């Protein structure tokens, strides 16, 4: 379990495993710090010495391009040394267990391990096994993707000015989505209302207990929502023979967003989000992706700032000099 619950508006944890473990104050604090880092990313010289002398290992045991690049840019802009280990190059393909991989990495004393793992709970195994190393979860199976959740929250906060009284609808495959879970935990904590919408085959059991409204009808889910967050249909992640929906064409007819549906059902100022990569014409029609309502590229931009903030904070942040422990 994640160590050291905090209710203060700071962040003093060793690891960032999931938004489920964080308080509203901690989440807000991360967003505030990320906001400060945002400015750096548009300067001519995009580098600060904050993490000089620190080593960051990117342990990506599942394919990823954008998340890894985002973490790598974030680390390098703070002057950390970065090392990349990908699924195909790692020992896990030679039969080594995750625990052994972790212990071997720890023996080389990295300061942060950013880990993406195909199985739920992967980051937690590392965090429990490595008391000296900060672990940042870059996605574990269908459980959590906390930095994605945080960058989505930052994007929503910038677009709407806050969360109170706002409604966010998450569309698509909730069952297999770690992005959905992190967003649900994060958004409900900071006071937003969350709806999910998708075919009953892709809505996991018990979501109502989290205070989430469940819809299967797109119109009902879209009406009145401030934000529509479409999720990627991850065909590569859905187990074979799942029978979740007949065809992408039919999925798109029922749950895809196009200009026409938005004009009829959505608020005029609705904000469209997507964690990417988008299946054009499946979850979103091109006119929606590229339209004024879309903040999809803002999400990507905010991702770098959020990841800088997370790395900075797990290593002790502004208290690093005082060294009061990061437990």
Partner 1 sequence: MSVRPTILTGGRVLDPDSGHDGIADVVIGRQGRIKEVGPGLASQADDKWLVVDCAGKWVLPGLVDIHVHFREPGHEYKETIETGCRSAVAGGFTSVACMANTNPVNDTGAVTRFMVDRAMRTGLARVLPIGALSKGLKGEKLAEISDMVDEGAVAISDDGMPVMDAHLMRRGLEYSRIFDVPVSVHEEDSCLAHHGCMNEGPTATRLGLPGIPNAAEDVMVARDIELAALTGGHLHIAHISTAGAVRMVREAQARGLRVTAEAAPHHFMLTDEAVGAYDTHAKMAPPLRSAADRDAVLAGLADGTICAIATDHAPHPAQDKDVEFELAANGIVGLETAWGLTMQRVHDGTLTLMQAVQLLTSGPSECFRLETGTLRAGRPADVTIIDPQGAQTVVPSTLWSRSHNTPFAGWQLPTRVERTIFAGRTVFVWDGERGRVGTDAARYRTR
113 touches partner 1 (CB under 8 A): no
Residue 30's nearest CA partner among 152, 168, 154 is: 154
12 touches partner 1 (CB under 8 A): no
Distance (Å, whole) CA 292 – CA 1: 42
278 touches partner 1 (CB under 8 A): no
By CB under 8 A, name the one of 22, 80, 98, 227 that touches partner 1.
98
119 touches partner 1 (CB under 8 A): yes
Binding residues among 132-151 for partner 1 as defined by CB under 8 A: 140-144
Distance (Å, whole) CA 53 – CA 64: 26
Q: Among residues 196 and 314, whose Cβ is nearest to partner 1?
A: 196
Long-range contacts of 294-300 (CB under 8 A, 24+ apart): 295/155, 295/159, 295/271, 296/272, 298/155, 298/158, 298/159, 299/151, 299/152, 299/155, 299/273, 299/274, 299/275, 300/66, 300/70, 300/276
Give me the least distance between CB of 90 and partner 1, in Å please.
Answer: 14
Give me the least distance between CB of 52 and partner 1, in Å please.
Answer: 34
Binding residues among 216-245 for partner 1 as defined by CB under 8 A: 239, 241-242
Q: Among residues 159 and 214, whose Cβ is nearest to partner 1?
A: 214
Q: Among residues 182 and 252, whose Cβ is nearest to partner 1?
A: 182
Number of residues that bind partner 1 (CB under 8 A): 27
CA distances from 141 to 63, 145, 232, 249 (A): 12, 9, 15, 26
Distance (Å, whole) CA 4 – CA 80: 26
Q: Among residues 26 and 62, whose Cβ is nearest to partner 1?
A: 62
200 touches partner 1 (CB under 8 A): no
Binding residues among 177-196 for partner 1 as defined by CB under 8 A: 178, 181
Give me the least distance between CB of 148 and partner 1, in Å please.
Answer: 14
Q: Among residues 62 and 72, whose Cβ is nearest to partner 1?
A: 62
Strands 227-230 and 271-273: parallel
φ/ψ of residue 60, rounded to 5: -110, 100
Q: Which residue has the tokens 């990295």?
A: 110
166 touches partner 1 (CB under 8 A): no
- Chain residues binding partner 1 by CB under 8 A are 1, 20, 97-99, 117, 119-122, 124-125, 140-144, 178, 181, 204-207, 209, 239, 241-242
């Amino acid at each position: 379990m994640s160590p050291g619950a905090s209710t203060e508006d700071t962040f003093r944890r060793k690891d960032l495993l999931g938004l489920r473990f964080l308080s509203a104050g901690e989440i807000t604090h991360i967003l505030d710090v990320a906001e400060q880092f945002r400015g750096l990313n548009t300067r001519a010289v995009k580098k600060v010495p904050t993490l000089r002398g620190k080593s960051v290992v990117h342990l990506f045991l599942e394919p990823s391009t954008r998340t890894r690049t985002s973490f790598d840019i974030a680390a390098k802009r703070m002057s950390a040394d970065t090392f990349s280990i990908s699924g195909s190059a790692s020992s896990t393909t030679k039969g080594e267990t995750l625990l052994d991989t972790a212990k071997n990495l720890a023996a080389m004393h990295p300061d942060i391990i950013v880990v993406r793992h195909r199985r739920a709970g992967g980051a937690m195994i590392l965090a429990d096994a490595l008391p000296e190393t900060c672990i940042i979860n870059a996605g574990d199976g269908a459980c959590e993707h906390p930095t994605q959740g945080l960058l989505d929250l930052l994007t929503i906060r910038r677009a709407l000015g806050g969360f109170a009284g706002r409604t966010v609808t998450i569309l698509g495959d909730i069952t297999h989505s770690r992005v959905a879970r992190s967003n649900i935990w994060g958004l409900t904590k900071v006071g937003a209302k969350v709806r999910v919408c998708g075919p009953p085959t892709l809505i996991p059991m018990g979501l109502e207990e989290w205070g989430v409204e469940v819809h299967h009808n797109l119109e009902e889910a879209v009406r009145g929502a401030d934000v529509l967050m479409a999720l990627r249909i991850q065909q590569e992640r859905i187990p074979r023979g799942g029978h979740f929906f007949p065809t992408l064409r039919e999925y798109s007819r029922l749950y895809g967003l196009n200009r026409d549906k938005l004009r009829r059902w959505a608020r005029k100022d609705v904000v469209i989000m997507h964690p990417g990569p988008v299946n054009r014409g499946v979850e979103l029609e091109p006119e929606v992706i590229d339209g004024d309502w879309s903040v999809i590229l803002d999400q990507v931009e905010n991702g770098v700032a959020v990841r800088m903030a997370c790395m900075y904070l797990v290593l002790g942040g502004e208290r690093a000099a005082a060294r009061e422990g990061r437990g």
